[in-house]
């Protein structure tokens, strides 16, 4: 049975701006069947919206955290229905 797509709203806190976090997020995302965006937030955190199956998103998140763990103090994930508005994964400026 195929897995349904979902949306994950991920928030990363720590020293995540100015360290290549968004670039690395896009590079890691390219290896997974996900779409979405990543952007810096005014409070110093980074927000990532990812859409795909829960399995792909969880694998993407684990991979990203393994590469950027030294910069991330905390992260959160909220699940939501997919918006289907993304066709790729990219940085929003």
Active site residue 40: yes
Burial call 21-50: b when 16+ CB within 10 Å, e when fewer: bbebbbebbeebebbbbbebeeeebbebbb
Active site residue 22: yes
Intra-chain end-to-end CA distance of the chain, in Å: 38
Residue tagged active-site, from 5, 11, 15, 22: 22
Residue tagged active-site, from 39, 40, 58, 90: 40
Q: What's the chain's length in residues?
A: 93
Residues designated as active site: 22, 40
């Amino acid at each position: 049975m195929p897995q349904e797509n979902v949306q994950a709203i991920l928030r990363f806190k720590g020293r995540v701006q100015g360290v290549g976090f968004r670039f690395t997020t896009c590079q890691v995302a390219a290896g997974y069947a996900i779409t979405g965006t990543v952007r810096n937030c005014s409070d110093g955190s980074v927000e990532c919206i990812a859409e795909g199956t829960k399995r792909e998103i969880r694998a993407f998140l684990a991979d990203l955290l393994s590469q950027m763990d030294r910069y991330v103090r905390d992260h959160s994930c909220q699940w939501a229905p997919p918006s289907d508005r993304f066709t790729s994964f990219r940085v929003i400026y």
